Structure 1
Amino acid sequence: MTNFKPLILFFCLQAVLVMISIPASHSRTILPNDEKLIESTCKKTPNYNVCLQSLKANPGSSGADVRGLAQIMVKVMKAKANDALKKIHELQRVGGAGPNQKRALISCADKYNAILVADVPQATEALQKGDPKFAEDGANDAANEATYCESDFAGKSPLTKYNNDMHDVATVTAAIVRLLL
């Protein structure tokens, strides 16, 4: 029995080491390789800062491949479109706009609804099915819709910030998706 004590102690220590190391190996933080993928991907986009800020804000980006980064950016597009629609509805409720601005707000609401109903689902589905060309088309359409919304206003647009944000995020998304082609 005394010959087994060192052996039992050895196995107990080994078991403790395994239990301690398992949680550490399964927890995800942004590791240098993850950081490098995000940075190298963002360098290939038209707006490095928007790309980096958008991806680093999402905890899922730390373990994502390029397709996963593109999917995250499509979700950012959706969030930006929802933000713009909220602002449009707020401006419509407040009133005080002239007839041209009212028409522009209605037109912009239609454009942002198209982003949410057509462009985002198209990009999402295309990425899931492994068809990046259609995902790129959806992102480019969203960027165009934001540009068209901005041009609907004769003069100063109350949506410039929202349109610029949407355009920037969508062009970054399209650039990331293009890497999958």
Structure 2
Amino acid sequence: MGNLKSLSLFLFLAIVSMLVVDCEVLQPYDARFVDEICKQTPYPSDCVQFLRQDPRSSGADVKGLALIMVDVIKAKGTNTVNKIKQLLKGSTGEKKPLNICLDRYKGVVEINVPEAILTLKAGKITIAEDMAAATSDEAQYCEVIFHGKSPLTIENNGMHVAAEVTRHIIRHLLLI
């Protein structure tokens, strides 16, 4: 009788372990989680690069990944503001579009980013998504106003990519 109980327990544990091993549930702490979320964005390789650079991503859920991406937007926006200020010191003919871009990027850093953080934390997902979309639009507008001669093409394109990745990760929260 003792052997039968031991055998039953052994079989039960063996079956449970096989079920657990075969289960493909991705947890936020799983390294594949970032890859799976990033596949759902328009720029998967950039997404993975942005998120893997931040150690918080290894333990983040979708909201955490979205907040990390908002931090990426903030850093890119701050760097662009600083570059524009440098360009304005030496610029002659580009002052008007540079000043417009400066105002737009200051708005991203001072308005869009804090609003996205607050609304994400409050669960107001569509407003956070709107902030990311507006950021993408600002970067594209800043590129267009130079009529093909932008000194900020790298920054504008980088911000557009980061904002679109952020927007798609935020949108993923609506599916949860």
Task: Report the TM range for the smaller structure's normalisation.
Answer: 0.7 to 0.9
Task: Give ranges in structure 2 of 5+ residues lacking alignment.
Answer: 1-26
1:71-86 paired onto structure 2 within 5 Å: 71-86=67-82
Is 1:113 the counterpart of 2:106 in the alignment? yes
Match of 2:152 in 1: 159
TM superposition shift of 1:154: 2.5
After TM superposition, give the deviation of residue 49 of structure 1 in Å: 1.2
**1:80-126 Cα shifts (integer Å, max 9, x gaps):** 0011111100100123x31xx11000000010011012111111001
Equivalences, count:
148
Question: Equivalent residue for 2:54?
Answer: 58
Render the CA deviation track for 1:119-149: whole Å, top value 9, x for unaligned: 1111100111111111100000000000000
- Identity, % of aligned positions: 45
Q: Which piece of structure 1 moves more, 115-124 or 156-165?
A: 115-124
Tell me which amino acid in the other structure corresponds to 1:56: R
When Rg is computed on C-alpha atoms for both structures, the one with the higher figure is 1
How large is the Cα RMSD of the aligned pairs? 1.4
Gaps of 5+ in 1: 1-30
Aligned to 2:86: 90
Residues 138-177 of structure 1 mapped to structure 2, 5 A cutoff:
138-177=131-170
TM-score by length of 2: 0.81
1:45-72 deviation per Cα after TM superposition (whole angstroms, max 9, x unaligned): 0001110000000000000000000000
Moved beyond 6 Å, runs of 4+: none
Q: 2:148, 2:28 → 1: CA distance?
A: 46
Q: 1:32 to 1:85 in 2, by over 3 A?
A: closer
